Every structure is written in structure tokens, then in C-alpha cells.
A and B are shown apart, each in its own frame.
Chain A
Amino acid sequence: MSGAGKAQGAAALRPAPLVTELSEGFWQGVREGRLVIQRCLGCGVLRHYPQPMCPACRSLGFDWAPVSGRGRIYSYTVAHRAFHPAWQAHVPYAIATIELDEGIRMVCDLLGTPPEAVAIDARVEVFFEDLPGQGPMPRFRVVDPAVGESAAARVSETKGSRGRERAGEGTPR
């Protein structure tokens, strides 16, 4: 991390994902404000995290399929201590294991959501955000279950946080 990140008053930078050739399609989607998941060309099964071979049909072929970005919290923890300086100012913060409606799991810190609002089975949806040290990243927020999915999507559109184009400039990946 840069020396500037350690200067007094400046928060440490979040660690950049270690992008591989295999996962480039996922991150390319993120830079375009789209959530795409590796899909086997042999049998059509979605898989995440990216890997070269499909363990179901042993095909090496894959493409990137768009997914809804909607799902539920499968499990979570609330970090009361930061073990990386980038999260020092955010404790306590929730980290959720999210299960998308397509059955894919992802992990995300829910910095904008108070830990009390985080619960197993709470509905979540994706948005995209430029983060210092990381560039464009997929993020998730809890959708008020009382609002319902379609209304929540409208709220999201109003906030302009879905599908917004992101420049990939300055990304350290």
C-alpha cells in the first residue's frame, strides 16, 4: 500500500483483489456496472469463485452470464475488531455471506448497513461503488423486507446506484 495511505488522518486503502486471467471477465463486468458470473459452456452451471474446469462436466469452456444481483443473507458476522487497517474506522461492521437467487454465494462487508439491521434471510441487492485502493467493486445493501423487491429496486434506481457506468481508471488490479 502507498505511503500516502498511512499518513496521519488518512485511512489505509482497502486491499485490491488479486485478479487472475480466469476472473478478468467478472471484474470487467464490475467495471461496466454489471454483475456477471462464470457459466459452464458444457452444462450451463454457474460457478463462483472462478476456476478453470467445471467440476460437474469437466468442461474448460465458459462465458460470463448476467445475474439478478438480488439474494438473501445466508450467514454473517459482525467484526468488532479490524484486522486490516482499512476497516479500523468502520468497526463494528457486518460481513455477509450472500446467496444470490441463482444459488451463487458471495461475500461482502455491509458498511452502509447498521449491524442491527443485518439478519439471516434478509433480502439484499447489489450496487457498484468506486472504492479507494480498489476501484469499482460490487457492493450489497439490505433491502427493507417490508418494502418488497420491486419497490426496493425503484428506490435503488432513484439513488442512481444501479447500472451506473464506472470508469476503470486508476484501478490497481
Chain B
Amino acid sequence: MSARARAAIVGIGQTPFTRGTPHSTLELHLLAGLEALADAGLTAEDVDGVMPNELAGTVAEDFILNLGVPGLAFSSTIRTGGASFASAIQSAALAIEGGVATTVLLVAGRRGYSSQRVSRTSEGAIAPHPVMRQVDEFERPFGNTVASQWFAHAARRHMHEFGTTSEDFGRIAVACRKHANQNPRALMYEKTMTLEQHQASPLIADPLRLLDCSLESDGATAIVMTSLERARDLRKRPVSLLGYGEGHGFPPTSITHKRDMTRIEGLEIAARRAFGRAGLRPSDIDCAQLYDGFTWVVLASLEAVGFCGHGEGGAFVRDGRIELGGALPINTSGGLLSEGHCSGANLVSEAVRQLRREVEPARQVPDCETVLVTAEGDFHEGAAVILGVER
């Protein structure tokens, strides 16, 4: 499979996940970026591509100015919300494969606790965005004001059509928490969760409870990408990009208007493209890092990727299959639900650590050679990347 891969991830960097930070978003990005470069054995002078993250509001000029990047040849920002980071990996790979750039730095994460708390009651939108225009006119004025409410419509409809239950969502939250309890980096490292606690947690947007929602955290994650050929000469074992894809459902501007809101259509398309490019199938995946803004998104992502059929997600998560030691461990760092919300970038860094055997022994997926990372952003936009190591 690796014969097809021409781009690789060669460095990862991450600030601690905290609730409270003295650093600005840009400072967090610069610190994570420097760590990723050091991890790769590279310096800022080597960087000729930068992909700033939409949700952080940083721009390429910030990196030129502060890192002292002398020869930037490529920069681009993907605008699909939480799917932006995984989609950016595709764009970076294209820049590398096309010879436009040799070394691309991708950074994401924000002050999700210190300055952009989504749980705060506010008269303003968290992040004004052209994609939100229709929702700003026709949904916010009707009380459908935030993401937890938008996604609750989809979760409710899924329950109605397929008999999915709040306990099914809870099993996903508990699996992520168990993994976080073995990950010292995780914000929820010391805080356990039982299914009973999940069920007792307050309803936020019925059927979504507090413990169905991802964390408010401060922190940034960076990765460095280059060609696989060059990667073999660098410091760490190269993690090659076996497949990538993005997808956009219809309409892309609201969940309530989706032809079928129980599907994450954008991710169905993205995953199909990523598997096709890699020449792999879902059964080839050793562990999956599934974007988990809300528990329901994980359940629907298992279906969208094809780990189970449409509507079968509830049954799929009922027997511990998604926990470490199960047939398909997911979100082995704790994910956005229990490690930290780094706009999905921490799912990629966890995939890299699993493939490099850099995680705590208790969290290491045995014989881990192929990892899927998915992302869901805005209103069910999707992105998927498949990462692997050579035997």
C-alpha cells in the first residue's frame, strides 16, 4: 500500500490541554509548531508551506513574521469548520506531490476555554462565517442558536428511525473517557465516567446531555508533512499518508435541511474517496480516531465510514468493541470528548503516536499499522485520512 503514498507526517507538536492559559491563540500555535519541527528534526528555515486553521483565525503572515519563515511557497486555509484540519492534510499532500512545497506546517487549536467558550450564553455568534448566513437568518432567530441544538435534531431523528438510545451515545462517551484515563495528556485523565453518570448528566439539547458534548479547552496541535522519500531520512519513523478525501453533503449550509439528516453524507463521500485512494477497506483499519464534537457524530461516523450499516451504530457500540482491547478501538487518546478539543488535530497526533509506538503501553493498539482519522465540520462536511507505517 505504501507504494502509492507520496506524502508523510514527520513531526507532531502539542501544547498541554488546559482550562486557562497565559498564551494567545497565536502563541499556542507557534509553540506547537516549533515542537513539531523539532520532533521532525527540522527548523523553521525548512518550512515552505503553512496551512493556518480557519477556526483559530491565524494567517500565514503570522508564521512568516514570528517563526522567521524565509521562503514560503504555499499557504491555504480550508473553511469546513471541524473538518478543516483533516482536509488541510489533503491540500498539503497535493502541494507536496505537485512539487509546490516540500515541508508544510499545519496547526490548529484555540482558546476554547479562555476566550471562545461555546457554553456561554451570548447574544453573538461564536464564529461569524459565510457558511452560517442562512442559519443566521432562518434558524438563530427561531431559537436554534448553537451547534449542540443543530446536532440534536439529527440525533433525535436517528433515534426515531433506528431505535438508537441515549445509552448508546453514553457508551461512546464512556469509551473515550476510559481511554483518557490512561492518557496523562488528557484533560479528563483523572476523572472517570460511568454510564450511570452519563445518564444522570444534565440535558443540554435533548437528546444530547452534557457528557455528550466535547470539551472546552485551550491548546494547539501541529504537524509537519513532507514527501515520503525525504521522510525516510528524518528523525522519526515516517507515518505515510495512504489515503485522503473530503466530501460535502447537500445542502452544506444547515443540518435541518439535509435530505437525510441521520447520515453524515459529507463523511460517507470523504471516506469512500480515502479508502479508494488507499486501496483499503474498513476491515483493514486497526484503530480509528473519529471526530467527536458530540457523541452522536461518532455513532454516525461509524456508519458513514462503513464499519457498520446505516442505522446500526447503536448496536455496534453496545459490546465494548470500540474500547481498547476491542475489535475497533476508537479515540484512543480520549478524543475531543475527553482529551481536549483541538479542532480535530489531536486525533491526527494520536494516530501518529499510535503508529510510532509512542503512547503509554496500556493505550497502545497491538500491531497497529493502519489508522483512520475522520472529521466532521460545519453542517456535516466530511474529511478522512488513512495513515500507515511500513512493516
Contact = CB atoms under 8 A, between A and B. Distances in A.
Interface string A133-172: 0100100000000000000000000000000000000000
A81 interface: yes
B206 interface: yes
B175 to A, nearest CB: 24
A85 B206 CA distance: 19
Contacts of A82: 121
Most chain A beta-carbon neighbours within 10 Å: one of B142, B203, B206: B142
A77 B153 contact: yes
A106 interface: yes
Given A84-B145, A95-B149, A107-B142, A1 B123 contact: yes
Contact of A79 (B123, B136, B149, B157): B149
B211 to A, nearest CB: 14
Given A20-B137, A85-B123, A75 B261 contact: yes
A16 interface: yes
Interface string B203-221: 1111110000000000000
B137 A15 contact: no
Contact of A95 (B118, B123, B143, B208): B143
A11 to B, nearest CB: 12
B133 interface: yes
Contact of B254 (A15, A49, A111): A49
B195 interface: no
Contact of B140 (A15, A49, A74): A15
B138 interface: yes
Interface of A: 1, 12, 14-20, 23, 48-49, 74-88, 90, 92-93, 95, 97, 105-109, 111, 115, 120, 134, 137
29 contacts: A15-B140, A15-B141, A16-B141, A17-B137, A20-B133, A20-B137, A49-B253, A75-B153, A77-B152, A80-B203, A80-B206, A81-B119, A81-B204, A81-B205, A83-B119, A83-B120, A83-B121, A84-B121, A84-B143, A87-B145, A92-B203, A93-B143, A95-B142, A95-B143, A95-B149, A97-B153, A97-B261, A105-B256, A107-B139
